[in-house]
Chain A
Amino acid sequence: MMKPEPHIQIQLVSDPTYLCGVREMVASIARRLGFDDMDCSKISLAIDEALCNVIRHGYNKAFDRPIWVGITPLAPEGDSPGGIMIVIEDEAKQIDPTRVVGRKLEDIKPGGLGVHIIREVMDEVRYEPREQTGMRLVMSKRVVRELEPPRLRDHLPGFLRKKETEPNRV
């Protein structure tokens, strides 16, 4: 079966200068897909961390290597009205995906948090070697709709419902 094409695909060089542009694009699309403000911020963070890992570990801080970012909306499923799938691909050296682990959080030291952050934020995270060269990171997150509690007002007989504009009489 053919892999579906992403709805958005961009190519950038591995220069940290451009991280802000990718973050803002992803946040904007996530907002449009129904994520709340905090989730948009966290999804931006996850993609930023993923790109930093490619730059830092995959490309050893070479700032002129290619990175591809693909974005696809997720279809509604169950109670979720949708979500977002982000695929990041590079041409870095291929590694065993089981070796992609973050450090233990109790061991407080600079660095090593990117993988943990990605796994905390996103619902699904999968690292895999690409077919020819490089690595692919597939991550997805679903919009979670908060179920509203039923309003008592909706169940009252009509004469007991106060008009919204009526002032309280003292």
Chain B
Amino acid sequence: MADSDSFIQSREEGGGIVVITPTADIDMSRSPELRTAIQQAMGKNINKLIVNLDEVGYMDSSGLATLVEAMRTANSSNTKLILTAMHPKVRAIFDIARLDSFFTIIDTVEQAI
């Protein structure tokens, strides 16, 4: 679980599903923390990791790099990685980087579960 000072909230949904919710913009100063949270979740031998971006109003390429790395790890460990609730401005960077089709992007956490 994330510590109290972290901007990452993490919860286990049962059935091998973990939902990670960053609660602030993801840039070079914060992406290492997201990376750590994802690595910790993946280390629990889960079936599905959902990264809920509902509270992320901005993401730069360091955040993208973190998610690309997470997707590669997920693929190699047969874990499904899903991104949810992406704001249009965040979606725009995925489009610019041509990564919109690389990820599974779903509207809500409930639908992803």
Taking Cβ atoms with an 8 Å cutoff, the residues of A that contact B are 15-17, 19-20, 23, 38, 41-42, 44-45, 48-49, 52, 55-56, 105, 108-111, 113-114, 116-117, 120-121
Contact = CB atoms under 8 A, between A and B. Distances in A.
Would you call the interface of chain A mostly helix, strand, loop, or mixed? helix
A16 B25 CA distance: 13
**Chain B contact surface mostly:** helix
A110 B97 contact: no
A110 B28 contact: no
B66 interface: yes
A19 B93 contact: no
A120 to B, nearest CB: 5
A19 to B, nearest CB: 5
Contact of B25 (A20, A108, A121): A20
Interface of B: 25, 27-29, 58, 60-62, 64-66, 68-69, 72, 88-89, 92-93, 96-99, 102
A96 to B, nearest CB: 23
A38 B27 CA distance: 18
Given A19-B29, A52-B62, A108-B99, A45 B93 contact: yes
A108 B68 contact: yes
A78 B102 CA distance: 39
B61 A111 contact: yes
